[in-house]
């Protein structure tokens, strides 16, 4: 098991295989698509085995077991029937040399063990802070389970249960009009005792039952968008508690209780609000993510999954496989590919992989894209992730059953029940090959955009994408924790950043000295200053004529240079001369594995939404 963890944690590239092309044509199974497999109906051992065989035949060599809404009542979360079915799947996966990831909740967000954490101790329910305006001289009235955190003049700050829930595994009235879901109570993920209870019930429970497969067939446990206050908390609450207030006071170096009313200010530009939420994120990392990460490290598996927000990079430091989540049509061909916070997610996860010295990063994609998802969008979204450096794709989802209302629960099925299943293999093979390219390789990238633990600026990124300049998001804590500034630029995790872009986002007081040093060294660049970028980080490859719709990614692997070119935009086919790539160049087809010589004296042609891979 220790060797498995070591494999993932090594930052440097693996030795070049004896025949790089042969490995490209048939990469190891670890690079295959890893779909969410919705277990959403009565489970049958023969049916489980038959569906796994179907996956295998279509180039899908692993899966995430995801207990899902629609399970019968006798197959509840952590029940013997559920565990027995999971063992059937794990044993069949082992027989077929496939990989399994366990999902840590029933259903989501993670952290509550389907309400069992709160059932063990009602004090473990999710909490929040409420502001109560008092009449002059009046005393606050505290309901059961509430605590007075601070009184500031005629304002009381009260800790109370948030009332937040998670989605459950069962319908309360299946088959009736307007089916209703169970909604178990969310747990207090800022309370170390509550998180320890969750780890004991779920993670240790998995280990006690499936220990022989840990670190072998079972490679990871997936935690899914944990939420401090749960789904649908009472209106007007701010995440926090009395205990967390004390911890944030320690982090910020002052008693914050007199300032708590500022958290409800309608003004966005309140420095205390930014400082509070920055410190709160640090507490959440320490209390939840670190505990899960440490447990996984000790038990020979990887913490996988993703945080709640598309821009969250801070929590990713505790994932052995940093991940993100592409759902709800957040990104589709068109403006959202480059605009808004969700447009940053793929690069956030890929950057975390590089800077944290991880081997892989992941994306859960296609969730709730609706029955209108097309095959063109299916492929486009995968390529959108891959050209940004993602190296493990988790399609959401393959449905065990589409009976009755199951078909419409966060659709679509993108696997066996989809129209494209009969010709799925070339898509699956292309994803496996491109994930292989993005693993154990060195990005050719010398520009960084500064980000916070919970915000990745999208506006500075757009002109870089449109000029085919690759970059990484650099979470600010690296500036004072492990990056070093030398004469040639900023060094971090084997990368050299000759230019660092900062859009003025507050980074905290620890960033002041590193920012001054970067500015003094002439390495700090304002967004959109392309002249400064041309001077500090000249482009190695250029397109003539310019093609803003084309994305470009370069990596080195096994002594070869790989260049991904993706026609991401909606402008149709494009043609350009690729300048700066010398020597014999080949085109390696991700869908077929076929190889053809490329004459760079002739224009490179990209069809709409086509991805080409050139290799020198």
Q: What CA–CA distance (Å, rounded) separates 407 from 401? A: 8
- Upper half-sphere CA count for residue 37 (Cβ side, 13 Å): 26
Mean pLDDT over residues 37-52, rounded? 98
DSSP 168-220: -SSBSSTTSSS--B--PBPB-TT-HHHHHHHIIIIIIHHHHHHGGGBTTTEEE
Q: How far apart are CA 554 and CA 339, in angstroms?
A: 23
Beta-carbon contacts of 449 under 8 Å, excluding residues fewer than 6 positions away, are: 456, 457, 460, 461, 464, 471, 472, 473, 474, 500, 501, 502, 503
Euclidean distance between CA atoms 520 and 560, whole angstroms: 36
Same-domain check for residues 171 and 273: yes
Asked whether residue 135 is assigned to any structural domain, the reply reads: no
Q: Which two tokens stand for residue 125?
A: 């329910």
Closest CA to 34 of 320, 351, 331, 361: 361
Say yes or no: 268 and 344 in one domain.
yes
Q: Is residue 144 part of a domain?
A: no
Q: Are both 315 and 273 inside the same structural domain?
A: yes
- Tokens for 608, please give them: 């709409």
Give the pLDDT mean for 389-396. 98
Give the neighbor-by-neighbor strand order of the sheet with 155-161.
Answer: 127-133, 155-161, 147-152
Give residue-wise pLDDT tens across range 518-550.
Answer: 999 999 999 999 999 999 999 999 999 999 999
Mapping DSSP onto H, E and C, the string for 92-137 reads HHHHCCCEEEEECCCCECCCCCCCHHHHHCHHHECEEEEEEECCCC
CA–CA dist 381, 333 (Å, integer): 8
Residue 256 lies in a domain: yes
CATH number at residue 293: 3.20.20.80
d(CA 316, CA 349): 8
The C-alpha atoms of residue 71 and residue 83 are separated, in whole angstroms, by 13
Query: Is there a single domain that holds both residue 271 and residue 380?
Result: yes
Mark out the alpha helices in 26-68 (DSSP H runs).
45-57
pLDDT of residue 454: 96
Instruction: Give tens-digit pLDDT for 30-43.
Output: 999 999 999 999 99
| CA 452 to each of CA 131, 217, 274, 342: distance values in angstroms, whole numbers, following the listed order | 28, 36, 11, 15
pLDDT of residue 568: 97
Hey, what are 526's tokens?
Answer: 């304002």
For residue 16, what pLDDT band results from cuts at 50, 70 and 90?
A: very low
> How buried is 160 (Cβ within 10 angstroms: 0-12 exposed, 13-18 middle, 19+ buried)?
buried
CA gap 112, 63 in Å, rounded: 23
pLDDT recorded at residue 176: 74
430 and 283 co-located in one domain? yes
Among residues 481, 511, 536, the one where a domain terminates is: 536
Closest CA to 439 of 588, 562, 297: 562
Q: Cα angle vertex 148, ends 117, 246, to 5°?
A: 75
> How many domains does one find in the chain?
3
State whether 462 and 574 are in the same domain.
Answer: no
Q: What distance in Å separates the CA atoms of residue 161 and residue 145, rounded to the nearest whole number? A: 7
The pLDDT value recorded for residue 492 is 98
Note whether residue 497 is domain-resident. Answer: yes
pLDDT at residue 3 in the model: 40
Residues 116 and 213 in one domain: yes
Identify the residue whose tokens are 């960084």. Answer: 448
Measured at the alpha carbon of residue 285, what is the angle toward residues 281 and 291, in degrees to the nearest 5?
A: 160
Binning pLDDT at 50, 70 and 90, where does residue 137 land? Answer: confident
Sign (positive or negative) of CA dihedral 331, 604, 581, 596: positive
Tell me: the pLDDT tens digits for 213-268?
999 999 999 999 999 999 999 999 999 999 999 999 999 999 999 999 999 998 88
Lookup: tokens for 444: 């050719």
CATH label of the domain that carries residue 555: 2.60.40
Q: Which of 536, 556, 587 is the last residue of a domain?
A: 536
- Asked whether 579 and 570 are in contact (CB, 8 A), the reply is no
pLDDT tens track for 192-212 = 999 999 999 999 999 999 999
The predicted structure's pLDDT at residue 6: 40
298 contact partners, CB below 8 Å, separation of at least 6: none
Are 391 and 348 in contact by the 8 Å Cβ rule? The answer is: no
Asked whether residue 515 carries a pLDDT value surpassing 80, the answer given is yes
Quote the percentage of the chain above a pLDDT of 90.
92
Q: Has residue 127 been placed in a domain?
A: no
Range of the domain at 110: 24-120+165-439
Nearest-10 Cα torsion for 467, 472, 477, 478: -120
CATH number of domain containing 460: 3.40.50
Q: For the chain, what is the largest distance between any 2 Cα atoms, rounded to a whole number of angstroms?
A: 84
Same-domain check for residues 513 and 568: no
**What is the Cα–Cα distance from 169 to 41, expressed in whole angstroms?**
10
Residue 210 and residue 193 in one domain: yes
User: Are residues 162 and 194 in contact, defined by beta-carbon separation less than 8 angstroms?
Assistant: no
**Taking residues 494-511, what's their average pLDDT?**
96
Question: Rounded to whole angstroms, how far apart are CA atoms 504 and 526?
Answer: 9
Q: How far apart are CA 223 and CA 203, in angstroms?
A: 11
- Residue 15 reports pLDDT greater than 50: no
Q: pLDDT (tens digit, 9 = 90+) per residue, 308-357?
A: 999 999 999 999 999 999 999 999 999 999 999 999 999 999 999 999 99
| pLDDT, mean over the chain | 95
- What lies within 8 Å, CB to CB, of 309 at 6+ separation is 341, 454
Same domain, 229 and 346: yes
Query: For the whole model, what pTM was predicted?
Result: 0.94
Q: Is residue 566 part of a domain?
A: yes
Residue 578 shares a structural domain with residue 509: no
**Closest residue by Cα to residue 239 from 229, 230, 227:** 229
Give residue 18's pLDDT: 56
**17: pLDDT confidence band, cut at 50, 70 and 90?**
low
Tell me the angle at which helices 242-252 and 271-284 cross, rounded to the nearest 10 degrees.
110
Give the mean pLDDT of 361-384. 98
The pLDDT assigned to 46 comes to 98
* Nearest in space to 470 (alpha carbons), one of 550, 553, 542, 354: 553
Contact 399, 31 (CB under 8 A): no
* Same domain as 379, residue 461: no
Using CA atoms, how far apart are residues 165 and 230, in angstroms rounded to an integer?
A: 5
Task: Please state, as a whole number, how many other Cβ atoms lie within 10 Å of the Cβ of residue 554.
Answer: 20
Question: For 441-483, what is each residue's pLDDT tens digit?
Answer: 999 999 999 999 999 999 999 999 999 999 999 999 999 999 9
Domain contains 425: yes
């Amino acid at each position: 098991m220790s060797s498995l963890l070591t494999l993932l944690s090594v930052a440097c590239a693996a030795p070049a295989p004896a025949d790089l092309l042969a490995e490209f044509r048939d990469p190891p199974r670890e690079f295959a698509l890893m779909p969410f497999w919705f277990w959403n109906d009565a489970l049958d051992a023969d049916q489980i085995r038959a569906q796994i065989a179907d996956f295998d035949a279509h180039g899908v060599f692993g899966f995430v077991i995801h207990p899902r809404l629609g399970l019968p009542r006798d197959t509840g979360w952590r029940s013997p029937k559920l565990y027995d079915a999971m063992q059937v799947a794990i044993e069949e996966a082992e027989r077929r040399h496939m990989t399994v990831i366990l999902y840590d909740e029933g259903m989501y967000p993670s952290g509550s063990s389907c309400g069992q954490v709160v059932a063990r101790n009602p004090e473990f329910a999710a909490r929040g802070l409420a502001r109560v305006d008092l009449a002059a001289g009046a005393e606050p009235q505290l309901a059961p389970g509430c605590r007075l955190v601070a009184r500031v003049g005629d304002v009381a700050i009260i800790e109370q249960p948030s009332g937040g829930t998670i989605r459950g595994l069962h319908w309360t009235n299946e088959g009736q009009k307007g089916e209703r879901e169970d909604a178990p109570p969310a747990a207090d993920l800022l309370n170390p005792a509550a998180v320890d209870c969750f780890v004991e019930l779920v993670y240790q429970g998995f280990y006690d039952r499936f220990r022989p497969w840990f670190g072998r067939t079972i490679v990871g446990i997936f935690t899914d968008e944990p939420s401090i206050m749960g789904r649908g908390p009472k209106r007007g609450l701010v995440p926090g508690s009395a205990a967390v207030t004390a911890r944030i006071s320690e982090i910020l170096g002052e008693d914050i209780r007199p300032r708590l009313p500022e958290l409800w200010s309608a003004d966005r530009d309140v420095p205390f609000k930014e400082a509070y939420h920055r410190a709160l994120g640090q507490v959440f990392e320490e209390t939840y993510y670190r505990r899960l990460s440490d447990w996984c490290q000790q038990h020979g598996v990887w913490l996988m999954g993703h945080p709640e927000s598309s821009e969250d990079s801070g929590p990713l430091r505790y994932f052995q496989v940093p991940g993100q989540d592409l759902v709800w049509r957040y990104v589709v061909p068109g403006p959202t590919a480059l605009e808004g916070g969700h447009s940053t997610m793929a690069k956030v996860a890929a950057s975390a992989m590089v800077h944290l010295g991880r081997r892989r990063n992941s994306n859960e994609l296609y969730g709730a894209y609706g029955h209108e998802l097309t095959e063109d969008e299916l492929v486009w979204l995968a390529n959108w992730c891959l050209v940004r450096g993602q190296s493990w794709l988790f399609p959401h989802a393959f449905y065990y059953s589409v009976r009755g209302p199951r078909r419409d629960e966060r659709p679509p099925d993108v696997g066996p029940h989809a129209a494209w299943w009969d010709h799925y293999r070339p898509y699956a093979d292309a994803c496996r090959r491109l994930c292989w390219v993005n693993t154990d390789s060195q990005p050719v990238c010398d520009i960084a955009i500064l980000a916070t633990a919970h915000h990745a600026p999208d506006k500075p990124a757009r002109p870089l994408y449109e000029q085919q300049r690759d970059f990484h998001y650099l979470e600010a804590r690296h500036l004072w924790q492990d990056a070093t500034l030398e004469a040639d630029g900023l060094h971090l995790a084997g990368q050299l950043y000759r230019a660092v872009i900062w859009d003025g986002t507050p980074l905290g007081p620890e960033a002041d000295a590193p920012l001054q040093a970067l500015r003094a060294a002439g390495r700090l660049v304002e967004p959109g200053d392309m002249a400064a970028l041309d001077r500090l980080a000249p482009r190695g490859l250029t397109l003539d004529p310019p093609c803003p719709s084309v994305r470009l990614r370069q990596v080195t692997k096994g002594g070869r240079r790989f260049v991904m070119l993706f026609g991401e935009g909606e402008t149709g086919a494009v043609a350009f001369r690729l300048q700066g790539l010398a020597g014999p160049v080949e085109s390696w087809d991700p869908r077929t594995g076929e190889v053809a010589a490329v004459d760079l004296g002739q224009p490179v042609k990209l069809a709409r939404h086509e991805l080409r891979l050139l290799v020198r």
